[in-house]
């Protein structure tokens, strides 16, 4: 006959005296431990739409979609938390450190898996010449603010910040004939290089 190990015996006696370790959820509310990693949630005002969280997600459960044929053009990030590993990589890699955080929510069961989505939408900035996607407006403003006065070395950075402050006009009309003065516009690297070389 095998005898129980001493540690297991002690645990069994403790459980008999103190009651079970498990909580009575769902019959009673359960409060997770302080550092519990539950449902990741976007915080719209702190997220700048850079997409870094999508890049680092090991489960590939964050999808990013840019739609440019709407006004304003939009970037949407959808986090399908039914595939989430709750690893916390998205939170760790968030460039603002506040855009996405793992909450303490754990009761995530749904009847339809399509409902298990956490989303955020951000306005996009397009190249004023070719209308390709440069990035999310909040991201460009965040870069400009982070760079401080160095942002004035790049028209795309400082114009993004000035437009955010309503100190520059929005102009996303496509220009056919680019001239040297078009250098002071929000441009993608390809169009900026073309203007510099051709004018």
Q: Least distance in Å: CB of 92 to ligand SF4?
A: 8
Q: Which is nearer to ligand SF4, 38 or 155 (CB)?
A: 38
CB-CB contact of 196 with 180 (8 Å): no
CB-CB contact of 78 with 63 (8 Å): yes
Q: Which is nearer to ligand SF4, 50 or 134 (CB)?
A: 50
Angle at 110 between CA 108 and CA 113, to 5 degrees: 105
Q: Least distance in Å: CB of 113 to ligand SF4?
A: 15
Q: Which is nearer to ligand SF4, 7 or 35 (CB)?
A: 35
Coil, strand or helix at 182: helix
Q: Which is nearer to ligand SF4, 72 or 88 (CB)?
A: 88
State the number of CA atoms in the 13 A half-sphere of 36 facing the CB.
Answer: 12
How far apart CA 79 and CA 83 sit, in angstroms, is 9
Residue bearing tokens 């004939």: 177
User: Distances in Å between the alpha carbon of 35 and those of 24, 42, 79, 86, 99?
Assistant: 20, 18, 21, 12, 18
Q: Least distance in Å: CB of 73 to ligand SF4?
A: 16
Judged by the rule CB under 6 A, the positions of this chain that interact with ligand SF4 are 40, 42, 47-53, 56-59, 61-62, 77, 79, 84-90, 94-96, 99-100
Q: Which is nearer to ligand SF4, 68 or 116 (CB)?
A: 116
Q: Least distance in Å: CB of 18 to ligand SF4?
A: 34
Cis ω on the peptide bond leading into residue 40 (within 30° of 0)?
Answer: no
């Amino acid at each position: 006959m095998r005898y129980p190990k001493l540690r297991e015996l002690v645990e069994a006696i403790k459980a008999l005296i103190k009651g079970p370790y498990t909580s009575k959820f769902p019959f009673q509310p359960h409060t997770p431990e302080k550092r519990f990693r539950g449902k990741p949630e976007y915080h719209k005002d702190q997220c700048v739409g850079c997409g870094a969280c999508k890049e680092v997600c090991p489960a590939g459960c964050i999808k990013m979609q840019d739609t440019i044929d709407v006004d304003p053009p939009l970037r949407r990030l959808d986090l399908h938390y039914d595939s989430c590993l709750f690893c916390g990589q998205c939170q760790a890699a968030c460039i603002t450190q506040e855009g996405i955080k793992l909450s303490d929510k754990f009761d995530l069961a749904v009847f339809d898996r399509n409902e298990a989505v956490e989303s955020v939408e951000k306005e996009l900035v397009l190249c004023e010449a070719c209308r390709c996607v440069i990035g999310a407006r909040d991201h460009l403003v965040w870069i400009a603010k982070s760079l401080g006065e160095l942002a004035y070395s790049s028209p795309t950075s400082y114009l993004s910040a000035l437009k955010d402050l309503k100190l520059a006009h929005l102009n996303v009309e496509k220009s056919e004939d680019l001239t040297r003065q078009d250098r002071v516009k929000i441009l993608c690297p390809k169009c900026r290089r073309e203007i510099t070389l051709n004018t």
